[in-house]
Structure formats: C-alpha cells, structure tokens
C-alpha cells in the first residue's frame, strides 16, 4: 500500500488519501477483508495529522467501502456488502436434502434438551462413563510405540492390523471371517449411509422393524426408498410374517437390530434369526444387521425383584447370541457395529463385516467421500483390542449397566401405575414401556420435562403410524442414583397426567 500524498496540491490531504484508498479497493489491490492500519499508525507512516486519516476513513465508510468493528479494527468491505443479496437458499438446496424430515430431529432434540432433568432420553452413554483414563493411557501408549503410524495414511478399508484384530474379535463372537471381510468405518451410521448409497434405488423397498432407530428411517427415506415396518413383539421382529412381507413387497434390504433392539430392547431368539436369514436368502434380499449393543449383555435379572415376564427364578449366565452374520456365508448379511456404545462415540470408529463384493463397492464410494477412518482413531482402537483392555472395560460396563437395568426394573415394579407394561431387556441401553391405555407419550413428555425427567416418545421410532403408547427409557444414561427418583417422578407424572386427562374427558 505505497500511498504518495502531494503536500503542494490543491486537493486536501484527506481527499488524496480517500482517492488512493478507493482506487486500491475498487481495483482489488486491497482485497476484501484486508485489515487497514489503525488511524494513528497510518498517520505516523504518512506524516500527517491523525484527524486527516480519521476523516478519510469516515468518508470511505460512508461510501460502504470499509467498515470498522469495535476492538478488531477497520476492514475493506467485500463488494457484496454493498450490493446485498443473499443466495436464494430454498431454491438452491437439493430435493435429497429437503427430504430429511427435520421435525423428527427437532423432536428428538426437544426430548433431550431438558438441562436439569433426569435423562432417560438421550441415546448415548453418560459422559462420566466414558473411560477417559483408559483412553488417555491407551492413546499415549499407541502414539509412543515404535511403529507409530497413527497419522499416516491408511488403506480405505482400514489398517490391516486393525482389520485382523476385528476379524478375530468377530470370530470369537461367532462370526467366522477374515480380515478381508472387515472394513473399518467412521461409525456404524456411516456404514448404513454407505449401504444406502451402494444398494438403494428410488422406489426400492426396505423392510425394518416397526419401531426402529430413526436415523435409519431417515437414511432410507432420503434415498426415496419405500420403507415398510414388520411387526415386532417382545422377541423382536415377527419373522413368521416375513415370508408374506417379502412375497408382497420384494424388498431389496431388510434392516434389523436383532440384539437389544433400539428402541424396544428386544432380542431375537435363535429360531427367529435362522428364519430371518433363510427368508432373506430365499428372496435374494440383503440383510443389514446393525449390532451396536450386542456385547453389552447382562442376561436375565436376578429373581429377588419380580418382573412382569422372563423371571425364571434362577440367575443365568448371560450368553451372547450369534449375530445373523454368523449364520450364513453366502454374503446376504452385512454386519455393522461400533465402538460408540461400548467405548466412546468420540472415536468415530465402527466396522462392517460383509462379502468381498460389498467391501469393494463401498471402498469405491469411500474413495470419493472420506477415504478412510482417522488413523489416530484406528491406532487407539488397535491398542484397545490388542492389549485386551477393551474386554475388561466392557466386562465392567456390563456389571454397571446390568445393575442400572435392575434398578430401573425395581423402581418400575415399585412405582408404575396400573396398566403400564414393560419388558426386561437382556442387554443394551433401552427399556421399552407401554403406557396405560389412553395416555399419549408426546403429551406425557411435556409434563415429565416440567417435572424434571425426560424420555424418548415411541412416535420417534415408528415407521408407519404414530406409536404414542410407548416410551423408550435409556437406563444406562443416568447416574445409578438418579434411576429410582427418576422413575418415581415419571410414574407420578403418568398418574397425574392420566387423572387430568380423565378430568378433561381426555385425549383417549
């Protein structure tokens, strides 16, 4: 910015300065957002009075060429600051992105955003349960290791060592597979998105559990799929009906959470698993098995507190059920899991187990998307698995979470009003409760939030129609001490809301 002022000219100095600066701004020699020197500094540099610079700056401001921001200085305005005119966003956004049903997300946020309430709503761990010390220790150990490669580029499918470790891990869980069949993902949800992109054409039919993980519904619907809900009961998807659904709808995909389902907490028994896989194969339909919770297995509860259902009187050792993926090798099942629910969502690391055709197709897509999962996250997961520390961590988590599950069951047994029903989840995060007849979950949520407790209304997860009679309770999210008072508060609110609905002639 070499500005030359002529002290012998008849043009006032401030005006010369304005002209010089304006020319530089309009020609682009001074780019938009260029920070001009402070008045005092420029005055000294040019050997003029500070008032001269002040006057020049004021003139340029009045012309809309520069602007001052308190505490930050004076900047050259971009040309459109003068022209105005924002982009016509609503015209520019794609149909695809418009298909996202924002009100669902807003409803979920609404349920979760109740700062001082006891939180049975949010679908993730209590941040206090994220094993910070373990992760810090594992991370530092991983980064200090001699063959450090936590920030080196990884193959699209993930570091070979991590794929190997995950293949071992899955083989121990009953899914015999090689490292070649494993792809490291940036979370299980990414796997779902990639499967939608790899398989779903507009109009394709996708079968899902009647109540299911709602981001999956979003993902299928935004791809213009036809999403059909298959009825569920306390043992998960009604696979006895599946043949009929396949015959009628010719689905391309079945999306299922067979173990500790979200939101219902239900677990499909072995014969249903076999029936599902065999039916899918008969109709040449792929199965996406989402299994974020499978390792969080608490078994049936101890019998001292009676529950409505499964209490057999004897404690049984929890036994993990074989994933669907372990029941076939032809390639029909695509298995997804994640470290998000057992370790922390912050790692953004999950994995997929599938036929090599699927791996190859998805790798081709990822090459244009995110290349591979963060190397540092992969390195941390490698250390977690290879050191065996993840197993001990999950074991401890199962004790804590199983206990919280029992606390919730006990509290429900003690406080639940007549007509309320619930299941005994054998693992995972969620208990699924049916409200007394005539009570609507959304209405209850408003009252409950005011009372200081929150949950997720069943409507959030329903595929076809409203499911206002169910609520999802996350028993792992709150602190153990909050469960009994939280359930008590919820049950009191249910009783009150029922009464007031009765009084008003109700919303039945």
Is 297 or 409 the residue whose CB approaches a copy of itself more closely? 297
Minimum distance from residue 388 beta carbon to a copy of itself (Å): 19
Minimum distance from residue 132 beta carbon to a copy of itself (Å): 6
Which residue, chain included where needed, has tokens 């499964």? Answer: 310
Is 383 or 467 the residue whose CB approaches a copy of itself more closely? 383
Is 132 or 502 the residue whose CB approaches a copy of itself more closely? 132
Stretch that binds a copy of itself, among 43-51, 241-249, 270-278, 403-411 (CB under 8 A): 270-278
Site for a copy of itself contains 86 (CB under 8 A): yes
d(CA 457, CA 354): 34
Residues within window 332-371 making contact with a copy of itself, judged by CB under 8 A: 332, 343-349, 355, 357, 361, 364-365, 367-371
Minimum distance from residue 229 beta carbon to a copy of itself (Å): 19
Helices (H), strands (E): how many in the chain?
A: 18, 18
Which x/- pattern, by CB under 8 A, does the window 127-166 give for a copy of itself? x--x-x--xx--xx--xx---xxxxxxx------------
Q: State whether residue 470 is helix, strand or coil.
A: strand
Residues within window 193-212 making contact with a copy of itself, judged by CB under 8 A: 193, 197-201
Residues within window 372-411 making contact with a copy of itself, judged by CB under 8 A: 372-377, 380
Neighbouring-strand partners of residue 118: 453
User: Quick one: which of 182, 138, 192, 184 has its CA closest to 378?
Assistant: 184
d(CA 198, CA 188): 15
Sole binder of a copy of itself in the list 83, 115, 317, 418 (CB under 8 A): 83
Is 20 or 281 the residue whose CB approaches a copy of itself more closely? 281
d(CA 268, CA 258): 5
Task: Say if CB 436 and CB 417 are below 8 A apart.
Answer: yes
Residues within window 101-120 making contact with a copy of itself, judged by CB under 8 A: 102, 105
Residues within window 285-314 making contact with a copy of itself, judged by CB under 8 A: 286
Q: Buried b vs exposed e over 471-480: b needs ≥16 C-beta within 10 Å?
A: bbbbbbbbee
Is 23 or 507 the residue whose CB approaches a copy of itself more closely? 23
Cβ neighbours of residue 454 under 8 Å, at least 6 residues apart?
111, 112, 114, 117, 118, 119, 120, 121, 445, 448
Residues within window 20-59 making contact with a copy of itself, judged by CB under 8 A: 28-29, 31-35
Is 278 or 447 the residue whose CB approaches a copy of itself more closely? 278
Sole binder of a copy of itself in the list 94, 103, 312, 314 (CB under 8 A): 94
* Distances 100 to 90, 189, 203, 277 between C-alpha atoms, Å: 14, 16, 16, 30
d(CA 399, CA 187): 25
Task: Say if CB 272 and CB 236 are below 8 A apart.
Answer: yes
Minimum distance from residue 306 beta carbon to a copy of itself (Å): 29
Is 45 or 82 the residue whose CB approaches a copy of itself more closely? 82
């Amino acid at each position: 910015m070499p500005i030359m002022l002529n002290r012998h000219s008849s043009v006032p100095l401030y005006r010369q300065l304005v002209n010089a600066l304006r020319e530089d701004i309009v020609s682009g020699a001074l780019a938009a957002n260029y920070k001009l020197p402070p008045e005092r500094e420029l005055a000294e540099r040019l050997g003029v009075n500070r008032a001269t610079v002040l006057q020049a700056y004021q003139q340029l401001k009045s012309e809309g060429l520069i602007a001052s921001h308190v505490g930050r200085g004076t900047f050259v305005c971009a040309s459109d600051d003068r022209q105005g005119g924002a982009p016509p966003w609503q015209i520019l956004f794609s149909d695809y992105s418009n298909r996202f049903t924002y009100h669902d997300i807003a409803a979920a946020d609404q349920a979760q955003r109740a700062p001082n309430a006891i939180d049975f709503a949010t679908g993730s761990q209590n941040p206090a349960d994220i094993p910070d010390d373990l992760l810090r220790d594992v991370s530092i150990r991983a980064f200090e290791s001699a063959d450090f490669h936590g920030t080196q580029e990884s193959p699209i499918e993930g570091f070979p060592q991590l794929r190997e470790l995950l293949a071992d891990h899955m083989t121990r869980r009953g899914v015999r597979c090689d490292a070649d069949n494993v792809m490291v993902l940036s979370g299980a949800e990414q796997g779902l998105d990639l499967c939608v992109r790899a398989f779903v054409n507009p109009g394709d039919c996708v079968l899902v559990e009647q109540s299911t993980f709602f981001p999956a519904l979003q993902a299928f619907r935004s791809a213009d799929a036809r999403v059909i809900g298959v009825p569920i009961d306390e043992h998960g998807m009604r696979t006895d009906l599946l043949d009929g659904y396949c015959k009628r709808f010719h689905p391309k995909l079945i999306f299922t959470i067979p173990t500790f389902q979200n939101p219902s907490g239900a677990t499909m028994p072995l014969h249903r698993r076999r029936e599902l896989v065999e039916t899918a194969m008969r109709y040449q339909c792929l199965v996406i098995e989402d299994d974020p919770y499978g390792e969080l297995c608490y078994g049936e509860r101890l019998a001292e507190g009676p529950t409505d259902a499964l209490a057999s009187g004897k404690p049984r050792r929890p036994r993990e059920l074989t994933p669907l993926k372990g029941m076939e090798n032809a390639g029909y099942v695509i298995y997804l899991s994640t470290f998000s629910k057992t370790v922390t969502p912050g790692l953004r690391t999950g994995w997929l187990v599938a036929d090599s055709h699927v791996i190859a197709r998805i790798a081709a897509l990822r090459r244009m998307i995110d290349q591979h999962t963060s190397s540092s996250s992969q390195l941390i997961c490698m250390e977690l698995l290879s050191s065996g520390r993840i197993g001990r961590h999950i074991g401890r988590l199962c004790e804590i979470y199983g206990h919280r599950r029992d606390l919730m069951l006990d509290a429900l047994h003690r406080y639940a009003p007549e007509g309320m029903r619930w299941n005994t989840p054998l693992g995972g995060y969620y208990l699924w409760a049916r409200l007394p007849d005539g009570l609507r979950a959304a209405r209850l949520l408003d009252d409950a939030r005011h009372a200081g407790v929150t949950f997720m209304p069943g409507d959030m997860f329903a595929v076809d129609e409203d499911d206002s009679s169910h609520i999802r309770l996350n028993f792992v999210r709150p602190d153990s001490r909050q469960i009994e008072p939280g359930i008590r508060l919820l049950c009191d609110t249910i009783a009150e809301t029922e009464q007031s609905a009765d009084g008003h002639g109700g919303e039945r």
